[in-house]
Amino acid sequence: MQNAIYLASASPRRKELLTQLGIEFSQFSVDADESQFENESPIAYVERLARLKAQSGVAMGYHDRPVLGSDTVVVIDNQALGKPTDKADFIATLKRLSGRTHQVLTAIAFASTERVISQVVTTDVTFKSLSNEELDAYWQSGEPQDKAGGYGIQGLGGRFVTHISGSYFAVVGLPLYECEKLLSEF
C-alpha cells in the first residue's frame, strides 16, 4: 500500500474510489459552510471547498499525514447546481440538463500543517432528452435527493448519459488518476 492519508469526507462513493487506488486511509467528515460566494465562479467555488475541507481536517488535529478534501459540482450555463431541495427543484434542474452538455467539476486538495495543493478536473457530460415520466420515476427511486445536480452517473442516472468527455471517476466524486498524481506531488 502507498502512504497513508486521511479522507475528509463522509461520502461512501469517495471511500470506494479511494480504496481502488490501494491507498491506506482513515475517513472522517468535516462540517464546512458550503455556500457559494456572490460572483464566485463555479471553478473557484469547488476548488475553495476542497481546500477548505482538507484544511479543516488539519485544523481538527488530523495532521500526522496528508488530508484529502474533495468537492463536486454540476455546472450548466456557468451556474453551479446544488443538491435538489425538493421534487420541483429536481425537475427544474434535470430539465435544464435534458438534451444538453454540462460540466462536472471535481476539485481535490491535499493539506498538511505546512501547505495545501489542489487541482480541478472538468468533465463534459451529455444527457439525452428526458421525458416527464423518466424524471418522475427517477425521483421516486430516491437516488437524486443527495446528489449534486440531481443525478448519480454510477447509479440509475447513468442511463441518461449519452456521452462523456473527461474523467468518469471525477463525475462519481474522486478523479483517480489526478488524485494519485497530486498525492505523489504532495
Active-site positions read 71
Q: Which of 2, 4, 17, 68 is nearest to 177 (CA)?
A: 17
> Does an H or E element contain 18, and which?
helix 12-20
What's the Cα-to-Cα distance from 43 to each of 46, 119, 129, 166, 186, rounded to whole Å?
5, 10, 26, 16, 21
* Residue 173 backbone phi and psi in degrees, to 5: 145, -10
> Does an H or E element contain 75, and which?
strand 67-76
**Strand 101-111 and strand 161-165: pairing?**
unpaired
